[in-house]
């Protein structure tokens, strides 16, 4: 596959010394380049606020444009004195452009159409690399990234024994075949709640533009079957989520609310001793399947020898299944009617189970995997009702929506613990039986959010649609989820300002940041090379590869600096600089399916 001329090509070895190892110039810009008609902005890290002359030259050194920098001032998020360079007037396609300011030269970049198509495809290819249960084939990914199947036949039962809190879990009387699905991140866990939002995002990208990933456009085993490759990849995860559903008639002993008030971030039932109640768990979804204990770095999936277990069903996981299975039923209708019917039946069964068991919360008291605890489930109920209504048009789901506090409420960027916005998006674009007045109101809420995000861009020096204070775990994903809403605002209105906000986001991720760092492997002069991952671990084992192109780092994190690398930086870095390209830095440089999914959405949107 052809890549941008200035992309660092990631191989199974660490990148050879060269431009990726050279000091970053003080001119920060999108290291891939720009579409001809898009805004083109670079940021200069300067010593003071005095305007400076700048020159844009082509690959032969011919001057194309001159101007003066515009002072921004001291920027809190980056800790830098910044100046702005706007060269949007240049639209002529070409390669090897450079900006020159005060004797410093920027990285070379391109101006051309379809700039983001390779990024969209490689970001989507990430999910094939993350598949469990099947070998990753050399003919599709290259010899460096090929590997045997991890957890090829995964038939498991429930966790039984004492958790870290001292609570005894009895296990269950059944075993489930949960082979397949995507590994969640750099570990070997497979999680329904994180799989849910990642799957929804890919399916929403398809629903918005079904032709974006035509059959044969991705290198996956299903290519050539006459179905969109994005649908094929999504189906691999959807099939896994369906396998995580508790069989009908099964009972389980689980902590059931209501519980005492708790501190923010604490699971509600953790506030007291939490006896386990016997409930009808049929139709619920298990929270995750994962190792009993954490595996070491590095451990390729096929070498994982830890005991694999199902962990207790939760209401949140059940509603994630209800939402995505309803979305599946809608999108596979006419593509594979049998699969669509199976998804609808599972969605309706999950919805009934969640109504029956509305307060079964996740716990972080199991080692070996992430907890994904969630203290507020009204957003998941709203999201699931929205997907079911969009698919079925049934009045009962519309009534549930109208009772929800999220129906028409202020919209924020979505995340795995805050999924209400996903429901609003679906109702705004894919619910034919929703009254027009409601559609207008919900689209208005999305536009209001987009305008707030654009206002945020005026409060930080790098001009991104984000708050300028602290940066959370996975900040790059939060920024991309904002860009997704900006893209929808542009779809609704056609206003250029919203596309400019999306472009500013991708500019930041591909180099227009104070580290002059591309956070996407394989794209840019200084692309991320050492993610927290148990297989893409060349820095720990020379026999293993680095990341394939198109993998997104979680990015700066100034709020939860929990790993050893981040801990040494705590209190010593401006929020946008709290990052390191280090495999040990899981708080800064982890990768995850719910982070790469909005990269696929945004890159495909830019390409459209």
Residue 585 belongs to domain with CATH number: 2.60.40.10
Higher-scoring residue by pLDDT: 8, 521: 521
Residues 140 and 56 in one domain: no
Higher-scoring residue by pLDDT: 537, 259: 537
Residue 10 has pLDDT above 60, yes or no: no
DSSP string across 102-128: TTEEPPPEEE-TTTTHHHHHHHHHHHH
- Rounded distance, CA 552 to CA 394, Å? 39
Mean pLDDT of 457-480: 93
Residues 6+ apart with CB under 8 A from 410: 445, 448, 449
pLDDT band, residue 394 (cuts 50/70/90): very high
- Rounded distance, CA 515 to CA 604, Å? 26
Q: What is the CATH number of the domain that holds 401?
A: 1.50.10.10
- Rounded distance, CA 151 to CA 499, Å? 42
Residue 264 resides in a domain:
yes
What stretch of H or E contains 341?
helix 337-356
- Rounded distance, CA 146 to CA 139, Å? 8
pLDDT computed for residue 270 by the predictor: 72
Q: Which has the closest alpha carbon to 414: 590, 241, 198?
A: 198
Residue 435 has pLDDT above 60, yes or no: yes
| Residue of 122, 348, 380, 590 with catalytic role | 590
- Rounded distance, CA 326 to CA 129, Å? 26
Q: Quick one: tokens of 507?
A: 């500019």
pLDDT computed for residue 273 by the predictor: 64
Point out which residues pair with 169 in neighbouring strands: 161
pLDDT computed for residue 261 by the predictor: 73
72-93 exposure pattern, b = at least 16 Cβ within 10 A, e = fewer: beebebbebbbbebebeeeeee
Higher-scoring residue by pLDDT: 261, 529: 529
| Residue of 532, 533, 538, 563 with catalytic role | 532
Domain that holds residue 108: 19-30+33-115+508-607
Overall size of the chain counted in residues:
608
Residue 4 has pLDDT above 50, yes or no: no
Residue 578 resides in a domain:
yes
**Which of 434, 450, 469 is a domain's end point?**
434
Residues 6+ apart with CB under 8 A from 291: 187, 188, 189, 304, 306, 307, 308, 309, 368, 369
pLDDT band, residue 197 (cuts 50/70/90): very high
pLDDT computed for residue 265 by the predictor: 66
Residue 9 has pLDDT above 50, yes or no: no
pLDDT computed for residue 89 by the predictor: 97
pLDDT computed for residue 2 by the predictor: 31
Residues 180 and 241 in one domain: yes
pLDDT computed for residue 375 by the predictor: 81
CB atoms within 10 A of CB 271: 13
pLDDT computed for residue 21 by the predictor: 54
Q: For 405-429, what is each residue's pLDDT tens digit?
A: 999 999 999 999 999 999 999 999 9
Residues 276 and 376 in one domain: yes
Residue 148 has pLDDT above 80, yes or no: yes
Residues 90 and 136 in one domain: no
- Rounded distance, CA 593 to CA 596, Å? 5
Domain total of the chain: 2
Q: Quick one: tokens of 437?
A: 């007045």
Residues 181 and 87 in one domain: no
Residue 373 resides in a domain:
yes
pLDDT computed for residue 363 by the predictor: 86
Residue 1 has pLDDT above 80, yes or no: no
Residue 469 resides in a domain:
no
DSSP string across 403-469: HSTTTTPPP---BTTB-HHHHHHHHHHH-TTS-HHHHHHHHHHHHHHHHHHHHHHTTSTT--SS-SS
Q: For 334-373, what is each residue's pLDDT tens digit?
A: 999 999 999 999 999 999 999 999 999 998 889 999 989 8
**Which of 407, 434, 461 is a domain's end point?**
434
- 538 as an active site residue: the answer is no
Residue 367 resides in a domain:
yes
Residue 11 has pLDDT above 60, yes or no: no
- Rounded distance, CA 254 to CA 170, Å? 10
Q: For 71-100, what is each residue's pLDDT tens digit?
A: 999 999 999 999 999 999 999 999 999 999
Contact indicator for 45, 86 with CB cutoff of 8 Å: no
Mean pLDDT of 470-482: 97
| Residue of 75, 380, 581, 607 with catalytic role | 581
Q: Give percent helix, percent strand, percent coil of the chain, each to the nearest 5.
A: 35, 15, 50
Residues 172 and 256 in one domain: yes
- 53 as an active site residue: the answer is no
Residue 4 resides in a domain:
no
CB atoms within 10 A of CB 55: 16
Residues 169 and 270 in one domain: yes
pLDDT computed for residue 3 by the predictor: 30
Which segment of 46-50, 137-141, 265-269, 578-582 scores lowest on mean pLDDT?
265-269
pLDDT computed for residue 319 by the predictor: 98
Residues 249 and 330 in one domain: yes
Residues 97 and 141 in one domain: no
- 348 as an active site residue: the answer is no
| Residue of 187, 237, 387, 582 with catalytic role | 187
| Residues above pLDDT 90, as percent of the chain | 89
Mean pLDDT of 325-339: 98
Mean pLDDT of 192-200: 98
**Which of 415, 434, 453 is a domain's end point?**
434
Contact indicator for 528, 581 with CB cutoff of 8 Å: yes
Residues 217 and 365 in one domain: yes
Residues 69 and 163 in one domain: no
- 491 as an active site residue: the answer is no
**CA–CA distance from 432 to each of 406, 426, 428, 429, 436 (Å)?**
20, 10, 9, 8, 9
DSSP string across 129-195: HTBSSS-B-HHHH-TTT-BPPSSSS-EE-B-EEE-TTS-EEE--S--EE---SB--SSSS-EEHHHH
Residue 325 resides in a domain:
yes
State phi, psi for 27 to the nearest 5 degrees: -105, 110
Residues 154 and 96 in one domain: no
Residue 442 resides in a domain:
no
- Rounded distance, CA 274 to CA 363, Å? 11
Sign of CA dihedral 336, 337, 338, 344: positive
pLDDT band, residue 165 (cuts 50/70/90): confident
Q: Residue 3 — left, alpha, or beta (φ > 0 → left; ψ -120 to 50 → alpha)?
A: beta
Residue 8 has pLDDT above 50, yes or no: no
């Amino acid at each position: 596959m052809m890549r941008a001329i200035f992309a660092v090509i990631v191989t199974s070895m660490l990148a050879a010394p060269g431009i990726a190892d050279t000091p970053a110039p003080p001119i920060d810009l999108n290291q891939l380049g720009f579409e001809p008609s898009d805004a083109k902005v670079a940021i200069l890290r300067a010593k003071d606020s005095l305007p400076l002359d700048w020159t844009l030259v082509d690959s032969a050194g011919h001057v194309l444009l001159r101007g003066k920098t515009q002072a921004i001032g001291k920027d809190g998020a980056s800790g830098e004195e910044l100046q702005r360079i706007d060269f949007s007037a240049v639209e002529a396609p070409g390669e090897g452009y450079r900006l020159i300011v005060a004797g410093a030269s920027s990285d070379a970049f391109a101006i051309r159409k379809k700039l983001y198509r390779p990024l969209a495809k490689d970001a989507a290819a990430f999910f094939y690399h993350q598949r469990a249960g099947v070998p990753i084939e050399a003919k599709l990914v290259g010899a460096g990234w090929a590997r045997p199947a991890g957890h090829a036949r995964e038939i498991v039962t429930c966790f039984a024994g004492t958790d870290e809190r001292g609570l005894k879990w009895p296990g269950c009387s059944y075993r489930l075949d949960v082979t397949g699905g995507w590994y969640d991140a750099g570990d070997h866990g497979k999680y329904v709640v994180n799989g849910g939002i990642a799957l929804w995002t890919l399916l929403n990208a398809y629903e918005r533009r079904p032709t974006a990933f035509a059959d044969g456009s991705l290198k996956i085993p299903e290519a050539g079957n006459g179905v969109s490759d994005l649908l094929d990849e999504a189906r691999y995860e959807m099939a896994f989520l369906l396998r995580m559903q508790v069989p009908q008639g099964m009972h389980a002993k689980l902590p059931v609310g209501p519980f005492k008030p708790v501190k923010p971030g604490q699971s509600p039932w953790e506030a007291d001793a939490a006896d386990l109640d016997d409930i009808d768990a049929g139709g619920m979804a298990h929270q995750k399947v994962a190792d009993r204990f954490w595996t070491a770095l590095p451990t390729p999936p096929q070498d994982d020898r830890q005991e694999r277990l199902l962990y207790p069903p939760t209401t949140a996981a059940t509603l994630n299944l209800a939402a995505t299975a309803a979305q599946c039923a809608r999108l596979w209708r006419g593509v594979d009617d049998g699969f669509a019917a199976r998804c609808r039946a599972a969605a309706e069964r999950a919805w009934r189970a969640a109504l029956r068991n509305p307060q079964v919360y996740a716990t972080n008291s199991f080692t070996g995997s992430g907890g994904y605890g969630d203290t507020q489930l009204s957003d998941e109920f709203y999201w699931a009702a929205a997907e079911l209504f969009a698919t079925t048009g049934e009045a009962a789901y519309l009534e549930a929506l109208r009772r929800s506090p999220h129906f028409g409420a202020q919209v924020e960027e979505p995340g795995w613990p805050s999924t209400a916005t996903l429901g609003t998006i679906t109702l705004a674009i894919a619910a034919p039986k929703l009254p027009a007045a409601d559609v207008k109101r919900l689209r208005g809420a999305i536009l209001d959010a987009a305008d707030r995000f654009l206002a945020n861009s005026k409060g930080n020096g790098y001009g991104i649609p984000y708050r300028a204070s602290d940066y959370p775990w996975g900040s790059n994903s939060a920024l991309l989820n904002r860009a997704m809403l900006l893209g929808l605002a542009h779809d609704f209105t056609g206003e250029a300002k919203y596309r400019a906000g999306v472009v500013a986001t991708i500019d930041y991720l591909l180099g227009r940041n104070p580290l002059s760092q591309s956070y996407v492997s394989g794209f840019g002069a200084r692309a991320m090379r050492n993610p927290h991952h148990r297989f893409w671990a060349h820095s720990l084992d020379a026999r293993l590869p680095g990341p394939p192109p198109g993998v997104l780092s979680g990015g700066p994190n100034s709020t939860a600096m929990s790993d050893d690398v981040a801990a040494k930086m705590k209190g010593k870095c401006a929020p946008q600089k709290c990052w390191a390209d280090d495999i040990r830095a899981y708080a800064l440089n982890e990768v995850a399916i719910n982070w790469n999914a909005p990269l696929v959405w945004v890159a495909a949107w830019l390409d459209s």
